Amino acid sequence: MKDEKAISPVVGIMLMIAITIVLGVTLIFFATAFEMQEPAPFVAHSSGELVRDVDGSVDQKVYLYHEGGESITVSDMEVVVDATEVCGKHARIVGLPVQNSLDSSNIEGETGMLDKGVSGLAGAIKEAEFSAGEMMMFRINNGACSLKKGDQITVKIIHTPTNTVIIEETLTAS
């Protein structure tokens, strides 16, 4: 009888050790299985400007200014242009940086909304990085979305690896 009673504490200790090992392995698996994602770049201050029909041109210019914060790798961003309240259209500029001009592969949504000409782009949209003190410019095609003084559009810059909006500006046509 004495031998049988001694088995119970040994079995209990073995079970507790086994449970501890299983929990430890599970915790290590979950801790290493999920990659830590880098946060989106922080843009402390930005601004923008929407200049309509300058000098009789047929396209309106959108300027975005990066005024402070971390640099943004241009290949890691997309630009969303929302003019649904003005003309019912929106577009997304993808595949950045752009070499010379936009083409259909660089535009999702309303492809005719954005100017695809060589003079339709300037600044960081053609560069590797968008840093503090820099500007980017693109044009909205007047034929596809005509803006009047006081009309508002929203422009967002999305950091694609984290799907985070890092710049959002509501611009009023001057």
Residues 84 and 20 in one domain: no
The per-residue pLDDT for 5 is 61
pLDDT at 121: 87
> In terms of domains, do 60 and 120 share one?
yes
pLDDT given for residue 116 in this prediction: 87
Q: What is the CATH number of the domain that holds 59?
A: 2.60.40
- State the pLDDT at residue 111: 87
Q: Are residues 47 and 94 in the same domain?
A: yes
Q: Clarify whether residues 12 and 81 are in a common domain.
A: no
Looking at the fold, whether 122 and 48 belong to one and the same domain comes out as: yes
Tell me the residue range of the domain where 109 lies: 43-172
CA distance 17 to 115: 68
Same domain membership, residue 27 and residue 105: no
> What phi and psi values does residue 132 have, to the nearest 5 degrees?
-55, 135
Consecutive H or E run containing 130: strand 129-130
Claim to verify: residue 112 and residue 148 sit in the same structural domain: yes
| pLDDT score recorded for residue 6 | 61
- pLDDT at position 63, please? 95
Same domain, 122 and 94: yes
Q: Both 73 and 145 in a single domain?
A: yes
Q: Model pTM greater than 0.95? A: no
Answer yes or no: do 29 and 56 share one domain.
no
Same domain, yes or no: 94 and 153: yes
Regarding whether 61 and 27 lie in a shared domain, the answer is no
pLDDT at 30: 80
Q: Provide the domain count of the chain.
A: 2
Q: Output the CA–CA distances (angstroms, integers) from residue 8 to 3, 5, 16, in the order listed.
A: 10, 6, 12
pLDDT of 54 reads 60
Number of C-alpha atoms within 13 angstroms, CB side, residue 172?
3
Largest CA distance in the chain: 106
Over the chain (174 residues), what is each successive 10-residue block's mean pLDDT? 65 90 88 75 92 70 95 96 94 92 90 86 91 94 88 96 95 92
